[in-house]
Chains A and B, each alone.
Chain A
Amino acid sequence: MSTSGPRRLLILLPYLWLGLFFLVPFLIVIKIALSDSVTASPPYAPTFSLDEGLAGLRAAFAALDFENFVWLAEDGIYLKAYLNSVKVAAIATLLTLMIGYPVAYAMAKAPQDWRKTLLLLVILPFWTSFLIRIYAWIGILKNEGFLNLTLMKLGLIDQPLAIMHTEIAVYIGIVYSYLPFMILPLYASLERIDGRLLEAAEDLGCSAFAAFRQITLPLSLPGVVAGCFLVFIPAIGEFVIPDLLGGSGTLMIGKTLWLEFFSNRDWGVAAAVAIVLLTILIVPIVLFQRHQQKHQEELG
């Protein structure tokens, strides 16, 4: 089959888009990561310019080095931030799964004419700005916030619970924000399970729980995997939630990056941090793609 001109153009379009808005910026970031920090504008050197001709370009290339990456490896704080990000993202993903699964399950079992409404309720929070919702959590979690006042009024506690500016607050924020990304794929895979499979299992001697364990759970696994990746991947690089809800003790790579960039004005190190983060994320992203593809093939 030969591709005609207009069609080839159509296929080229996404590549053009990716090249322009992903590849070129990414190359710029790599270049900055390989540059040195200077107190100037822009705050890195060398800069490529054609003023000095080919020799100038060659000199600029020669000035690039891996100094920033060496710096990242030598200073333990970055490794700690990376590891802590992975830990926080992993635990938050697990919590989201534990909360999301029963919710998605209940939604999939709900009467047909309720499901659309329930689905709408799940995505309803997206209608409010993410930032506002996180600020709202500050109002709930702070010492004289809604939660503590209510609990004290009820006489359950005498001292306000110190949740704000702790890692717990970060977990609450991430779980809250990313729950829909967990529920939606879970719901999709749970809802697709043919009810007759469960009847068949029961017919063959399964109790309701045994049928859940042997039929529902394995068949919803694609949804579990998809949901976990959709939460884990963005949670690793999360900046707003740890910044607003977490304390100085919550070391996350997104926050480190922000500090390097804005407080230290060290674009070189910040860019290096971003590139390392991307390499860390590529592994789960590739795994996710593979999984989706395999799943598609099995369905088709």
Chain B
Amino acid sequence: MNFHDPASTAAQAEPVSALTQDRTPLIRFENVTKTFGSFTAISDLNLNIREREFFSLLGPSGCGKTTMMRLLAGFEEVTSGRILLDGQDLTGIPANRRPVNMMFQSYALFPHMSVAKNIGFGLKQERWKKSDIQDRVDEMLALVQLEDFADRKPHQLSGGQMQRVALARSLAKKPKVLLLDEPLGALDKKLREETQFQLMDVQDRLGLTFIIVTHDQDEAMTVSSRIAVMKAGKLLQTDTPARIYEHPASSYVADFIGNVNLINVELAGMDGELALARWDGGTRLAIRPQPEDVLTPGARKTLVLRPEKIHVTKDQPAEAPNVNRVEGTVEEISYTGSASTFLVRLDGGQLIRAQEANRLLTSRREVDWNDRVWLSWRAGACVLVDA
């Protein structure tokens, strides 16, 4: 595979979001590089995060997400470049004087302190009055619904409860920026979803800026105002969840987020508003191009086609200029409750993944293993990225 140059896509992707457009950035990474010995963990990275954003860092293991958080929190110093918070250069400011709090992946609760003491710890360091600490701790306990657990020790809590204590502790000082490093990793799916909404609610109510690291893309999609996709210390794309999903800047981003069919095509020319492309020299495909697409005939591109955009039918769909149709045989059907995913082997040998919502009971499903089926999708349902 051949990837986009990350620097150029990051620059191009930056000013898109209407939601966050005209706010001045709260956090600025300016040409930040971080090396450990000879290893470059973060490489010449530029990033703006605006106030009240819920910003997600997404990327494969070891790409530098935690390192970025630790740089921001003050546990690591940048090797070159600088990080600005509210216009102030953070270089040289120790972690305990940054208005940034971090919720650790492992929770890092103090095992010898009660839940209330844990939550009030940061306030005690600032020499708050006892009664004020008590009030804020109560407020935080109510927020995470742990009022009855104030006197418990961490080892007497369940994983989900510990996680909520950690959240309450990191929120107690109402920091300008809250860093959450895989905060929900240890929770089961249901509790996870519940907590995601809790997080969003808290962020909204307190008007804070959240930066979250997650391995779970559904989570990132759900909670974020913007997502940054990282790879090997660089940002590949920074965008709203919808743009990241539907208009990935590269096949890498497309592949990283959700399921996708990546189809190598060669541009053939234009047909009115539609671009025509040849797939493996054979099938002609119609694609509705994006305004920023550069369409040179003969150029090799990758077509990004999400499975749920593809219709699976037994009958041949009616011909239309903006509908693409291909025929193949069903090799595999996987059932996930709300939808079924079909793996279809085309006559040309390619494997395409298509997903249909289960509108009927499975027992009444028309399509079965080894059936001949037609796959069809509209020209506007797919995008082109550089091959």
Contacts and interface: CB of A to CB of B under 8 A. Distances in A.
Interface of A: 194, 196-197, 199-207, 210, 214-215, 218-219, 298
Given A196-B104, A200-B102, A205 B125 contact: yes
B152 interface: no
Interface of B: 73-75, 94-97, 100-102, 104, 106, 108, 110-112, 121-122, 125-126, 153, 155, 169-170, 173
Given A199-B95, A205-B126, 11 more contacts: A200-B104, A202-B95, A203-B75, A203-B101, A203-B102, A204-B96, A204-B101, A205-B96, A205-B97, A205-B122, A207-B96
Interface centre among B94, B100, B104, B126 (most CB of A within 10 A): B104
Contacts of B100: 203
Contact of A219 (B73, B112, B122): B112
A204 B104 contact: no
Given A196-B104, A200-B102, A298-B155, A205 B173 contact: yes
A197 B110 contact: yes
A31 B75 CA distance: 67
A218 B114 CA distance: 13
Contacts of B95: 199, 202-203
A-B interface, 7 closest residue pairs, ranked by CB to CB distance from nearest: A204-B122, A205-B125, A200-B108, A196-B108, A202-B95, A218-B112, A205-B96
A277 B303 CA distance: 87
B125 A206 contact: yes
Contacts of A207: 96
A53 to B, nearest CB: 63
Nearest to A299: B155
Nearest to A203: B102
A204 B102 CA distance: 8
B169 A204 contact: yes
Contacts of B110: 197, 200-201, 215
29 contacts: A194-B106, A196-B104, A196-B106, A197-B108, A197-B110, A199-B104, A199-B108, A200-B102, A200-B104, A200-B110, A202-B75, A202-B95, A203-B74, A203-B75, A203-B101, A203-B170, A204-B96, A204-B122, A204-B169, A204-B173, A205-B122, A205-B125, A205-B126, A205-B173, A206-B96, A214-B121, A215-B110, A218-B112, A298-B153
B75 A199 contact: yes
Contacts of B153: 298
B152 to A, nearest CB: 13
Contacts of A210: 125
A296 B247 CA distance: 55
A194 to B, nearest CB: 7
Nearest to A199: B75
A207 B121 CA distance: 13
B111 A202 contact: no
B24 to A, nearest CB: 26
A201 B121 contact: yes
Nearest to B172: A204
Contact of A204 (B75, B94, B112, B125): B125
A298 B121 CA distance: 21
Contacts of B121: 201, 204, 214
B104 A219 contact: no
A219 B111 CA distance: 8
Contacts of B94: 202
B202 to A, nearest CB: 18
Nearest to B97: A205
Nearest to A196: B108
A89 to B, nearest CB: 28
Contacts of A218: 112
Contacts of B73: 203
Interface centre among A196, A200, A207, A218 (most CB of B within 10 A): A200
A197 B95 CA distance: 14
A194 B104 CA distance: 12
Nearest to A218: B112
A207 B96 CA distance: 7
Contacts of B126: 205
B155 A203 contact: no
A65 B173 CA distance: 71
A215 B169 CA distance: 15
A296 B180 CA distance: 32
Interface centre among A194, A204, A210, A218 (most CB of B within 10 A): A204
B88 to A, nearest CB: 17
A149 B153 CA distance: 57
Contacts of A214: 121
Contacts of B111: 197, 219
B108 A194 contact: yes
A205 B73 CA distance: 11
Contacts of B169: 204
B125 to A, nearest CB: 4
Nearest to B125: A205
B206 to A, nearest CB: 17
Contacts of A205: 96-97, 122, 125-126, 173
